[in-house]
Amino acid sequence: MASMAHPIFTLSTKPDTKKRRYVAADGKSYVEIRPNMIGLATVHDRDVLIYCISQVMAALNDGKQVHRTLRFKAYDLLVATNRPVAGTGYSGLKAALERLQGTQIETNITTGGVEQIDGFSLIDRYRIVRETRDGRMLDLEVTLSDWVFNAIAGDDVLTLNRRYFQLRKPLERRLYELARKQCGMQPEWKCGLDKLKDRTGSTSSDKEFRRLVKAICKADQEHNHMPDYAFRMDADILTVTPKPEFLENYAPKPEQDRLTGGYILPLSPDTLERARELAPTWDIKVLVGEWRNYAARQQNPPKNPDAAFLGFCKSWFKKRGRNGW
């Protein structure tokens, strides 16, 4: 989340060797990014970090012990992040690893309840475990920095839409990251163009930055290519709103019963009383349990639990009649 709020990764597609320092609005927290000779880590290099974080999160969700060092197939990473699996994909991956390790960061941002005021790389080291005869890497080992690992352990992470990896323009990716971090599931988020430029880390002129943002907004209105959020700009104010499919996919799921797996969906007293009229011979507690188990087998929980339960009771009584005695 910290890397989504601050422009740690460069938008440039050419080697960017400029040192940068960003100070938060409170004047207390800061981020200073120092490149090595081959330049800063790019927005596209971040794919490697996202993939590593997803592997750690998946292991945590499965109750497994996790470590800073991960080993995986280079091919799996390329496929997951929508990169070419030919020679250019592997050479690009190696360059990304070099930039991620070479980019030095100094910050006092707190992640996972730990405040670090020191310098570190995004990844401590990488190792190409095996190469084929034509030089193509097969297995990789990547050791994440303490800062990144603390963020994962502290759950300072956000899920990203897989379509994020289909965005080829660095500014498109950065706008999505800001929308995911700043807007979330709120009705909207607004940001003036001057502040937006600072948040993206863009080095374009004000005129060119305005043109680029307008072009992205127009393309999204015409082709709906930006995942999760809609973007529009009026009078140098960018307005971001969640798209309907995002609200459906990311809305918090109801709690599930550990024994039955059924959704624990609240029902109003009026609904229970109406259900007794629709299925007069049945035990309402039995019907509530049956309906919750039924709802758990559906792809998504019902948007209107009361209406869904009444419909279930009506259908149940019609099929089974007075067998509830």
Would you list the domain boundaries of the chain? 1-157, 168-251, 254-320
Q: What is the pLDDT of residue 5?
A: 66
3-state class of 11 per DSSP?
coil
Taking a C-beta distance cutoff of 8 angstroms, is the pair 140, 124 a contact?
A: no
Q: How far apart are CA 49 and CA 120, in angstroms?
A: 15
Q: What is the pLDDT of residue 325?
A: 43
Tokens encoding 191: 């940001």
User: CA end-to-end span of the chain, whole Å?
Assistant: 56
Q: What is the pLDDT of residue 137?
A: 79
Q: What is the pLDDT of residue 164?
A: 93
Taking a C-beta distance cutoff of 8 angstroms, is the pair 107, 31 a contact?
A: yes
Q: How far apart are CA 10 and CA 63, in angstroms?
A: 35
Local confidence pLDDT in tens for the 325 residues of the chain: 666 667 889 999 889 999 988 887 777 778 889 998 899 999 999 999 999 988 888 888 788 888 999 999 999 999 999 998 888 888 899 999 999 999 998 888 666 666 667 788 989 999 988 777 766 778 899 999 888 888 787 767 778 888 999 999 999 999 999 998 888 888 899 999 999 998 898 999 999 999 999 999 999 999 999 999 999 999 899 999 999 887 776 665 666 666 555 566 778 878 888 888 888 888 888 888 888 878 877 767 777 888 889 999 888 888 887 654 4
Compute and round to an integer the Cα radius of gyration of the chain: 25
Q: What is the pLDDT of residue 254?
A: 61
Give me the amino acid identity at 227: P
Which residues lie below 8 Å from residue 100, measured CB to CB, with a gap of 6+?
41, 45, 48, 49, 121, 122, 123, 126
The fold adopted by the segment(s) 168-251 is Arc Repressor Mutant, subunit A (1.10.10)
Q: What is the pLDDT of residue 119?
A: 82
Give me the amino acid identity at 97: L
Q: What is the pLDDT of residue 293?
A: 79
Q: How far apart are CA 99 and CA 12, in angstroms?
A: 13
